[in-house]
């Protein structure tokens, strides 16, 4: 049988079923989908392929899913480090955005983010930022899968004047992207402290009608809780629950301030959490009790947050930090094992975004979103457990090849849809502008 691509690998870690690692197996890909996963000796007899790839020192894993990003903020990487969240936002990030935010800013920042993510094995990202139309356009252009948030916030910005306009422009983008196979469009209200009840209620109605997820920062810091208690007499989750938002389509990002009763409520609602451990650590926001949430049956995914607060989009680093921090917070060395961390970075992200039928694991019938990781490096030798190595020892620089829907976006460490020299030139120009500050 003739197919498009056959990838022979030393190991294949499909994620689903869990804790499985196939040795000397191959992936057969045709029309952008996985059509077979079988021993290499059988694959060589069964298939003839236009492209045959030999990854004989590599582990193949599903493409990593970065479940919370602000891609264009990569342009502000390192402009205001070592500050608490609200100081960082109000006195540094928001003034810079006010001065420089534009379609060009988002285009170039998103291109930089996409390049970094592809080189780090990320094949899908869930974004929340202004000019989401530009983010979607660049994702399509460069071949990466993206969940592009329909941003909602009460105050005016260069993108929209008020909540009605945010929703109107969001709906237009959703309609425009309905038939784009790489793009989904969840609603993305910024946070409880920046969106009113009225706007949230209207968005909730639209989300239900269109069957769209809702992606929102929630319980990020203790200050958020205190502020909301003073203004509304309710903790943010309580308020959102009363508005009907806590449901199987809700994706709460950060969740560092949680009571046991809130974990129970969230689990019963079937809602999702995106854990951003490195950003939370850097901003000293607190600790998401991941082990407790997982034990309660909550689907927990992983995200980097924006590179302005992380300061990278490295999902390998995020997996390792999530596993180690999860153990420390739980005071249990068996909490958040390597397989769990890898699942959080792949299948759990797909479940949160509502695309687990498309991606998140290397299963027959799913999109060929595949990452090859070279484990034949001194830093990952000897190899007793490839799954453990992916989380605890390997780094993103060991990603050699990346495919999204069967299209190769990284070939032997070289980007195939982005011009690195051009990107570097643009970054030099943006650095000069942003160094002027405000």
Give tens-digit pLDDT for 147-159: 999 999 999 999 9
- Residue 436's pLDDT is 77
Give pLDDT tens digits for 74-123: 999 999 899 888 898 889 998 999 899 999 999 999 999 999 999 999 99
Classified by CATH at the fold level, domain 2-62+368-405 comes out as: Urease, subunit C; domain 1 (2.30.40)
Q: Is the pLDDT of residue 437 over 70?
A: no
Would you say 247 and 269 are in contact if contact means Cβ atoms under 8 Å apart?
A: yes
**Average pLDDT value for residue range 322-332:** 98
Hey, where are the domains in the chain?
2-62+368-405, 64-353
Across 201-249, the runs of DSSP E, i.e. the strands, are 214-218
Report percent pLDDT > 90 for the chain: 96
Q: How much helix, strand and coil, in percent to the nearest 5, is found in the chain?
A: 40, 25, 35
The CA dihedral of 426, 306, 174, 198, to the nearest 10 degrees, is -130
Lowest-confidence pick of 15-19, 87-91, 107-111, 360-364: 87-91
> Is it true that the peptide bond before 112 is cis, omega within 30 degrees of 0?
no
* Sign of the C-alpha dihedral computed for residues 4, 51, 125 and 152 taken in this order: negative
Classified by CATH at the fold level, domain 64-353 comes out as: TIM Barrel (3.20.20)
**pTM beyond 0.95, yes or no:** yes
Average pLDDT of the chain to the nearest whole number: 97
Q: Is the pLDDT of residue 179 over 60?
A: yes
438 pLDDT band, cuts 50/70/90, is very low
* Sign of the C-alpha dihedral computed for residues 292, 296, 300 and 305 taken in this order: negative
């Amino acid at each position: 049988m003739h197919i498009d691509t056959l990838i022979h690998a030393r190991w294949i870690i499909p994620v689903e079923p869990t804790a499985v690692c196939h040795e000397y197996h191959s992936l057969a890909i045709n029309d952008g989908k996985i059509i077979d996963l079988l021993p290499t000796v059988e694959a060589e007899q069964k298939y003839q392929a236009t492209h045959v790839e030999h990854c004989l020192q590599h582990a193949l894993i599903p493409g990593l899913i970065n479940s919370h990003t602000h891609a264009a903020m990569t342009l502000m990487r390192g402009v205001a480090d070592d500050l608490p969240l609200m100081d960082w936002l109000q006195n540094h990030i928001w003034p810079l955005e006010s001065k420089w935010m534009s379609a060009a800013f988002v285009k170039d920042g998103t291109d930089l983010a996409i390049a970094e993510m592809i080189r780090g094995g990320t094949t899908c990202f869930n974004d929340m930022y202004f000019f989401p139309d530009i983010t979607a356009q660049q994702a399509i252009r460069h071949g990466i899968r993206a969940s592009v948030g329909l941003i909602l916030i009460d105050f005016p910005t260069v993108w929209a004047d008020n909540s009605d306009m945010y929703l109107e422009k969001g709906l237009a983008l959703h309609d425009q992207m309905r038939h784009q196979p790489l793009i989904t469009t969840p609603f993305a209200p910024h946070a409880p402290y920046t969106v009113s009840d009225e706007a949230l209620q209207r968005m909730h109605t639209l989300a239900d009608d269109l069957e769209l997820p809702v992606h929102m920062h929630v319980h990020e810091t203790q200050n958020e809780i205190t502020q909301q208690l003073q203004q509304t007499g309710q903790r943010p989750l309580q308020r959102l629950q009363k508005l009907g938002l806590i449901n199987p389509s809700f994706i709460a990002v950060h969740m560092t301030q949680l009571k046991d009763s809130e974990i129970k409520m969230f689990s019963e609602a079937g809602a999702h959490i995106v854990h951003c451990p490195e950003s939370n650590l850097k901003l000293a926001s607190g600790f998401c009790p991941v082990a407790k949430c997982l034990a309660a049956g909550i689907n927990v995914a992983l995200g980097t947050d924006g590179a302005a607060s992380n300061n990278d989009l490295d999902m390998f680093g995020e997996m390792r930090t999530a596993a180690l921090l999860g153990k420390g917070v739980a005071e249990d060395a068996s909490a958040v094992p390597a397989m769990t961390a890898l699942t959080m970075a792949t299948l759990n992200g797909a479940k949160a975004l509502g695309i687990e039928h498309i991606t998140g694991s290397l299963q027959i019938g799913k999109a060929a979103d595949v990452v090859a990781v070279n484990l034949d490096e001194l830093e990952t030798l000897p190899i007793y457990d490839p799954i453990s190595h992916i989380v605890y020892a390997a780094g993103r620089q060991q990603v050699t090849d990346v495919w999204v829907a069967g299209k190769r976006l990284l070939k032997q460490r070289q980007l195939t849809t982005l011009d690195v020299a051009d990107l570097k030139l643009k970054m030099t120009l943006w650095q000069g502008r942003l160094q002027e500050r405000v």
